[in-house]
Chains A and B, each alone.
Chain A
Amino acid sequence: MTRPLPRWAELALLPLLNLVLAMAVSALVVLAAGQSPTAALHALAIGSFGSWDAIGFTLFYATNMAFAGLAVAIAFKAGLFNIGVEGQAAMAGLGIALVCLGLDASLPALLLLPLAILGSAAFGAAWGYVPGWLQARRGSHVVITTIMFNFIAASLMVYLLVNVLIQPGQMAPETRRFATGLAALSSFGFPGRSPANVTLILALLAAFVVWVLVWRTPWGYGLRVVGSNPEAARYAGIDEGRRIIVVMAISGALAAGIAVNEILGVHQKLILNFTGGAGFTGIAVALMGRNHPVGVLLAALLFGALAQGGSELAFEMPDLPRDMVVVVQGLIILFTGALGALLRAPLARVMARG
């Protein structure tokens, strides 16, 4: 019979302790690799926050993580584990490409960009809607279908970029560059030469909208009832199936933020594998952020810093294998996500005594 922790301890202290624990174990790993943990931590910190460039890159990666984390978190509020953010983001990229390739000659940037963003959201939402519909109306488990939809999306992208959308006369499986006046999106006056762009603002906005939607609307109330006690939803007259379908579509639309950040923000052409696994990291981000928008944003910042600091670390300490950064990321996911409850019981005991 463990008593529940006070809210602040549950939301702040516990994740912090988990992080410290993960860092401590990581230090041991670095030590075992014959390197200095303090030097590694220093390189990591400088690499992620040491300059405007570094901060810009950190925020750029964090934007991907934030959208992915929000997408996972909102589905989780309805008790759904959306593993398909990766595929939804990929399809969202296709949405951007179709809008831009089709209309970039005829529309000014100020019209084209919002249209491209809407197109990506629509494609992402559609790729979430179908598994949601299958779950709600046919009982196909959403975990299975979203995994399958990742594969389908990946294959479809390869096919389209190799056979259909490829720029004629080129070898690389990518579309031509979009002819958009992209200065608007690629930077908002952020100092340095980083890819950080307006999508960051969109991520903050999305987090706020998710918070309002889930915690301040009757729809979100129903969503949380469905996630916590589906039988109570039936009692209350909340249509569980419809909630599942709609929230999966919203989740897919949030995943589209990754595509906007990468494709519209940086590459300005559709390429293969631009998601880079961000969709999967989003699961860890949501777990660490306790499926709350504020937590997700903080966790996204941490994972963005790890992604950026990690590449710097590999550069600064060439003797430390690149995989070590992945190990550190893995440890953080392990301690904050999977073992998130590890310290709860001892912490509750200490706090009860104190």
Chain B
Amino acid sequence: MGHQVADIPDVTSAQGAGGAPPAIECRGITKRFGHVLANDAVDLVVRRGSIHGVIGENGAGKSTLMAILHGFYPMDAGEIRVDGRPVTIRDSADAIRLGIEMVHQHFMLVEPFRVIENIMLGAEGGMLLAGGEAAARASLARLGRDYGLVVDPDARIGDLPVGARQRVEILKALHRGAEILILDEPTGVLTPQEADDLFRVLRALRDEGKAVILITHKLREVMAVTDRVSVMRGGKMVAHRETAKTSAAELGELMIGRRPAAAARPAPATPGPELLSVQDLRVRDGAGVERVRGVSLALHAGEILGIAGVAGNGQTELLEALSGMRRAESGTIRLRGEVLPPCDAAAMRGRGVAHVPEDRLRHGLVADFPAQDTAILGYHGDPMWRRVLGLISNRAVEAHAAGLMATHDVRPAAPRLRSSLFSGGNQQKLIMGRELERAPDVLLVGQPTRGVDIGGIEAIHRRLRAWRDAGKAVLMVSVELDEILALSDRILVMFDGRIVGELPAGADERQLGLLMAGAHA
């Protein structure tokens, strides 16, 4: 931690350097949620004409800081200057007036509307739309020319691929006069090509003198596109660096606070018999698009099979089909050698296939339910909590949840607390506990540690390894390379709905990256 102190003068020098004040300057930003200090006296200086990376692990405080800059939360203490002037940002309208625009991880677009109508949103220009539309069209043409941001203004958002939707978000921000553009994890949903396009646009924006803040936890991106980088950890700003003068290794170390454990893989797996296998599976998503296009795979007892891939390459639909949430279009699924008839999720659970879903808020829990009710989701018909006349006993449900919370270290251990009031990591531990409780032979798990803090990640990884060591089969879908590499005994790479490669444990990261990018062709 010694390097922290040395960094502080680096920040101050940015302030006085080169005449023009920085585009945005934060001093001592502090934000507390209950007893959690999300931002602890955070400093950040971003110059015009630069791309500034803000990196840190989940829960490091990046998003809180950006939310404060964009007026989502008031800060408890600190000062923000824009172009040298102290400002107060009470809400996002204030932020927009100051030229601070944010492109969220989840796009804020109206899907049935056309591109042009989305661009005008918030800048409609008077009673009649015609004037605003003409202005938007003109600026769309100009922005397309200047930055290579080309989108058909009359296309409907719902018809556009993810990369194009993101361009619309950026165009919307620029149309409203953005000078400081914040992008929150912009590449999480992009294919490598789309990400390259995005970086080209960001460089063009920088050359125009805009300030770009890129929030990410991907070191590759930071090294590739930023000019400067600030590292957050545990709510504190721990370092500022010129990108040219640092390395991915150093940044990684700063982010985690220690050297990454060098291949701390436990004993290799001893795979047993085949438990689950899939032949030529094809699955369509809700919109009728074929997302899984002929996947075959086999999962053995005593192994963790990692499915790697950039999000949106069919992993979600594969998992949904295996868990019974979605009917497969064609193909066969075998469980313990036996061909399965079409099953719904309840039937799959009954056959010993448990599922920790990718999106825990959407699928894994019911936000309004007390935790004890979430803890029986999918198993609510179980005789374990049914008493008189087969009715569900609240007391038994509560006792069950209390036991689950103790075994799986869910905090707070409050069965009656609403599910939505638990942190992401604790929600995940609760769901994991629920699914492991009946000792399923096959565990399907999607994005096991998305939005989970570091302590929680380690606990969940330990749990998955222990499950494998107990001779069970785990199929894990993750978009986190590090997670895939840390846990998998075998890695299958999915691209465009197909398995494009299989790698052994401890595979070369670069090779994996190439496969994920679809470079097999």
Contacts and interface: CB of A to CB of B under 8 A. Distances in A.
A6 B355 CA distance: 34
Given A4-B418, A217-B392, A222-B380, A235 B325 contact: yes
A32 to B, nearest CB: 37
Interface string B325-347: 10000000000000000001111
Contacts of A38: none
B357 interface: yes
Contact of A228 (B346, B364, B368, B390): B368
Contacts of A218: 380-381, 386, 392
A238 B325 contact: no
A234 B368 contact: no
B324 A237 contact: yes
Nearest to B393: A216
Nearest to A218: B381
Interface string B127-167: 00000000000000000000000000000000000000000
A316 interface: no
Given A218-B380, A235-B378, A236-B380, A229 B367 contact: yes
A228 B366 contact: yes
B484 interface: no
B106 interface: no
A221 B373 contact: yes
A126 interface: no
Interface in B366-423: 366-369, 373, 376-378, 380-381, 386, 390-392, 418
B346 A238 contact: yes
Interface in B260-282: none
A229 B366 contact: yes
Interface in A221-245: 221-222, 224-225, 228-229, 231-232, 234-239
Contact of B344 (A224, A229, A237): A237
Nearest to A234: B325
A236 B366 CA distance: 11
B414 to A, nearest CB: 13
Contacts of B366: 224-225, 228-229, 232
A235 B357 CA distance: 8
Given A218-B392, A236-B377, A228 B367 contact: yes
B343 to A, nearest CB: 9
Contact of A234 (B345, B373, B391, B418): B345
A225 B377 contact: yes
B369 A237 contact: no
Contacts of B418: 4
B362 interface: yes
Interface string A268-295: 0000000000000000000000000000
A234 B366 CA distance: 12
Contacts of A39: none
Nearest to A216: B391
A237 B346 contact: yes
Nearest to B418: A4
B345 A236 contact: yes
Interface residues of A, number: 20
Given A218-B392, A221-B392, A235 B364 contact: yes
Contacts of B377: 225, 232, 235-236
A229 B323 CA distance: 18
A212 interface: yes
Nearest to B367: A229
A132 B488 CA distance: 47
B368 A237 contact: no
A243 to B, nearest CB: 13
Nearest to B386: A218
A175 to B, nearest CB: 41
Contacts of A228: 366-369
Nearest to B363: A235
Contacts of B347: 237
Nearest to B362: A231
A205 B380 CA distance: 25
A346 to B, nearest CB: 20
B142 to A, nearest CB: 40
Nearest to A225: B366
Nearest to B368: A228
A236 B377 CA distance: 6
A232 B368 contact: no
Contact of A232 (B346, B348, B365, B390): B365
A237 B345 CA distance: 4
B391 A212 contact: yes
B366 to A, nearest CB: 5
A242 to B, nearest CB: 11
A236 B362 CA distance: 12
Nearest to B323: A235
B472 interface: no
A241 B395 CA distance: 30
B176 interface: no
A215 B392 CA distance: 8
B48 interface: no
A212 B344 CA distance: 27
Nearest to B373: A221
B345 A217 contact: no
Nearest to A4: B418
Contacts of B468: none
Contacts of A229: 362, 365-368
A232 B365 CA distance: 6
A235 B345 contact: yes
Contacts of A231: 362-363
A229 B365 CA distance: 8
A234 B323 CA distance: 10
Contacts of A4: 418
A4 B420 CA distance: 12
Contacts of B345: 234-237
Contact of B380 (A212, A221, A235, A239): A221
A174 to B, nearest CB: 43
24 contacts: A4-B418, A216-B392, A218-B380, A221-B376, A221-B380, A225-B366, A225-B377, A228-B366, A228-B367, A229-B365, A229-B366, A231-B363, A232-B362, A232-B363, A232-B364, A232-B365, A234-B325, A234-B363, A235-B323, A235-B325, A236-B345, A237-B324, A237-B344, A237-B345
Interface of A: 4, 212, 215-218, 221-222, 224-225, 228-229, 231-232, 234-239
Given A234-B325, A235-B345, A235-B378, 19 more contacts: A4-B418, A215-B392, A216-B391, A218-B386, A218-B392, A221-B376, A221-B392, A225-B369, A228-B368, A228-B369, A229-B365, A229-B367, A229-B368, A232-B364, A234-B345, A235-B355, A235-B364, A236-B346, A237-B348
Which 9 A-B pairs have CB atoms at the shortest separation, nearest pair first? A237-B346, A237-B345, A235-B363, A236-B378, A218-B381, A216-B391, A221-B380, A237-B344, A229-B366
Interface of B: 323-325, 344-349, 355, 357, 362-369, 373, 376-378, 380-381, 386, 390-392, 418
